Chains A and B, each alone.
Chain A
C-alpha cells in the first residue's frame, strides 16, 4: 500500500517533470499543496472568479520576477525592482496627466526604467561593484526622487491607453485581463531567450563560473549590462500593467516588491548563487506567492501576516537551496 502510493507519486512527479522540467517539480507540488489546503478550508477559493483574481493579483509581481530571475541567474540581485517599476508609473502618469500623448508617455517611462538598468548594469559590470549595494543605492535614490517629484502624494491616472492592460477578455467563462496575457507572453519570450539562444546559455555560464566564461571568450561585462537593461525594461512594462490594475500612481506603492519577487524566484527553484534555475519555476513561484496572499486574505487574516509568511517562505527556500548545494 505504502510502496504503491510512493510509486505512483514517483510516476506523477516524472509526468510533471516532462511538462515543467525536473527542477520545477518541487515548486509545482508546493503550489498544488497550497491550492489544496485553501480549497478545502474555503470553498470560494476554487471559484473561477477567485482564480481569475489570483492571476490578476500575480501580474505585477509575476512580471517583475522575470527580470529578477535574469539577474539572480547571473548571481546578482535586484533590490531596486519595485522602485524602478514605480518610477515608470509615476513618469507615465505625470506626463499623460500634463497633456502628453499617452503612448509617448508610456514609451518614455519604459525608457527611463531601462536607463536605470543601464546605470545599475554599468556600475556592476564596469566598476565591478556588488549588485546588492548598487541596487540598494538605486532604490534609495529613486524612492527619494519620486517622493520629491510627486510631493509625497499619490495621484489618479485616468488615461485610457495607460489603463488599457486592465481590460478583460472572457475565455470559456474565465476572465483574464490583457495584463495577464502580456505577462504570459513576456514569460514565453524570455524563456525562449534563456533556453534557446546563445545569450541565454551565456547568462547561465556567467552565473555558474564567470572566470570560465571569460576564458572561453564570453564578453562577461557586456552580458551583465544586457541582463540589467532587459530586466529594467521588463520592470517598465510591469509599470504599464500596474497602471492597468490600479489607475493610480503612488510613490509609496510596491513596498513589498523586493521581498515578493525574490521569493517568487527563489521558491521557484532558482539558486541565489547563480547559474541554476529558470523561468518556469519563477512563474510557479509567483503563483505560490499569489495563492498564499489570496488564500490568507480569503481566510480573513491580516495582510501583515502575509508578509510574515512570505518572509518565512523565502528563508526556507534559500535554506533548501543551500542544503542541496552541499550534495552537488
Chain B
C-alpha cells in the first residue's frame, strides 16, 4: 500500500455538483430497497440525508460508498460516471466514510489511528528497503490537521482508549477529513454519543466544511440536522421525496414529508437549482 498524500483544499465552484446519483435501483429479491432514487451533493455543503427506517437511507449510502452495487442507474463523481465494485474503489477516488460504531484501534495512539492503513514510510533507504515508518512525520501531520480543525485532544501520542467517546469519534472524523479528496460521508456519527460529545463532533464536521470539503450526514437526530445541514435530502419508499432547506422548512415539515403525511411543495427557493 502506498501512503496517500493529505488532501489539498478543494477548489470550490459555487454550485458545482460533486457527487450525483440518477435513477438508482436496488432490489433484494422481492424487496425494492432503492426505487429509482436521485441524489445530488454540491461542493462545500453539508447535505443531511434523513428518512424513516426502511426508507432506503442506508441502501443509498451503501451504493454511494461502493458497499453495494446498484442494479440500475448511474453514479457520477465530478460529472464522471463511476462504478464502485467495493468500498476500496470509492476510497481510492476520494470518498471517505465514518461509521456509527467507533472504528478506531483503542490501544494505538491518536497519530497511529489517523494514519491507520495509510502509514507513511521514511524517505530513502530506511523507508524503501527497511520499510521504516515515518513516525515523526505522521505525528507532526496529525497535530497540524487537528489544530487546523480546532479539535482539542490530549497529547497526540496518547492511546485512543484514554479519550472520551466524542474525542474517539473525532479521531475517526478527522481521519476522513485528512484523506477525503472529494467528500466525506458520515453514517450516524453521533448515534453512540452523549449530548456534549455530539456537540464536539458536530463542530468538527462544520470545521471540515469550512475547509471546503462537502459532507453527507446521515442522521436520525432532527435537531442536529437542522443545526448544521445546508440542505436536507428526504428519503421515502426508496425514492428522494424532497430536498429542502432548514431555512424554509421546519422539523415538522420534514417529518411530515418523511412519513408521507405531507407532499413536498415545489417552489422551495433554496432547494431548486
The A9-56 residues at the B interface (CB cut-off 8 A) are none
Report the Cα distance A85→B266, complex, angstroms.
75
Contact A198–B133 (Cβ < 8 Å)? yes
The answer, yes or no, to whether B153 is at the interface (CB within 8 Å) is no
The answer, yes or no, to whether A147 is at the interface (CB within 8 Å) is no
The B59-101 residues at the A interface (CB cut-off 8 A) are 87-88, 91, 97, 99, 101
Report the Cα distance A30→B141, complex, angstroms.
39
Closest to A193 in B: B131
Report the Cα distance A209→B119, complex, angstroms.
17
Q: What's the least CB distance linking B119 to chain A, in Å?
A: 4
The B100-114 residues at the A interface (CB cut-off 8 A) are 101-108, 112
Contact B131–A217 (Cβ < 8 Å)? no
Q: Which residues of the other chain, B, contact A209 by a CB distance below 8 angstroms?
A: 103-106
The answer, yes or no, to whether B188 is at the interface (CB within 8 Å) is no
The A168-200 residues at the B interface (CB cut-off 8 A) are 192, 196-199
Q: What's the least CB distance linking A90 to chain B, in Å?
A: 35
The A192-230 residues at the B interface (CB cut-off 8 A) are 192, 196-199, 201-202, 204-205, 208-209, 211-213, 215-218
Closest to A195 in B: B133
Q: What's the least CB distance linking A117 to chain B, in Å?
A: 21
Report the Cα distance A215→B187, complex, angstroms.
13
Contact B108–A201 (Cβ < 8 Å)? yes
Q: What's the least CB distance linking A126 to chain B, in Å?
A: 18
Report the Cα distance A215→B161, complex, angstroms.
19
Q: What's the least CB distance linking B75 to chain A, in Å?
A: 20
Contact B107–A217 (Cβ < 8 Å)? no
Contact B131–A197 (Cβ < 8 Å)? yes
- Which residue of the partner chain, among B1, B104, B121, B161, contacts A212 with CB atoms under 8 Å? B104
- Which residue of the partner chain, among A192, A205, A217, contacts B105 with CB atoms under 8 Å? A205
Main secondary structure of the interface of A (DSSP, over half): helix
A217-B88, A217-B117 known; A198-B1 Cβ under 8 A: yes
Q: Which residues of the other chain, B, contact A212 by a CB distance below 8 angstroms?
A: 102-105, 116
Q: Which residues of the other chain, B, contact A208 by a CB distance below 8 angstroms?
A: 105-108
Q: How many residues of B contact A (CB 8 A)?
A: 26
Report the Cα distance A275→B87, complex, angstroms.
25
Q: Which residues of the other chain, A, contact B133 by a CB distance below 8 angstroms?
A: 196-198, 201
Residue among A202, A209, A213, A328 with the highest chain B CB neighbour number at 10 A: A209
Q: What's the least CB distance linking B23 to chain A, in Å?
A: 29
A208-B107, A208-B108, A209-B104 known; A197-B132 Cβ under 8 A: yes
Report the Cα distance A198→B175, complex, angstroms.
17
A196-B132, A197-B133, A201-B133 known; A216-B106 Cβ under 8 A: no
Q: Which residues of the other chain, A, contact B104 by a CB distance below 8 angstroms?
A: 209, 212
Contact B116–A328 (Cβ < 8 Å)? no
Report the Cα distance A26→B1, complex, angstroms.
37
Q: Which residues of the other chain, B, contact A205 by a CB distance below 8 angstroms?
A: 105, 108, 116-117
Report the Cα distance A217→B133, complex, angstroms.
18
Report the Cα distance A198→B99, complex, angstroms.
24
- Which residue of the partner chain, among A216, A218, A275, contacts B107 with CB atoms under 8 Å? A275
Contact A275–B131 (Cβ < 8 Å)? no
- A75-115 vs B: 1/0 string, CB under 8 Å? 00000000000000000000000000000000000000000
Contact B117–A216 (Cβ < 8 Å)? yes
Report the Cα distance A328→B168, complex, angstroms.
14
Report the Cα distance A208→B175, complex, angstroms.
18
Give 29 A-B contacts (CB < 8 Å), ordered by A residue. A196-B131, A197-B130, A197-B132, A197-B133, A198-B1, A198-B119, A198-B131, A201-B108, A201-B119, A202-B117, A204-B108, A205-B108, A205-B117, A208-B107, A209-B105, A211-B101, A211-B103, A212-B102, A212-B103, A212-B104, A212-B116, A213-B116, A215-B103, A216-B118, A217-B117, A217-B118, A275-B105, A275-B106, A275-B107
Contacts beyond the supplied A196-B130, A198-B1, A216-B175: 8 A-B pairs with Cβ under 8 Å: A198-B131, A205-B117, A208-B108, A212-B105, A213-B116, A215-B99, A217-B91, A275-B106
Nearest 4 interchain pairs by C-beta: A216-B117, A208-B105, A212-B103, A205-B105
Q: What is B's interface to A at a CB cutoff of 8 Å?
A: 1, 87-88, 91, 97, 99, 101-108, 112, 116-119, 121, 130-133, 161, 175
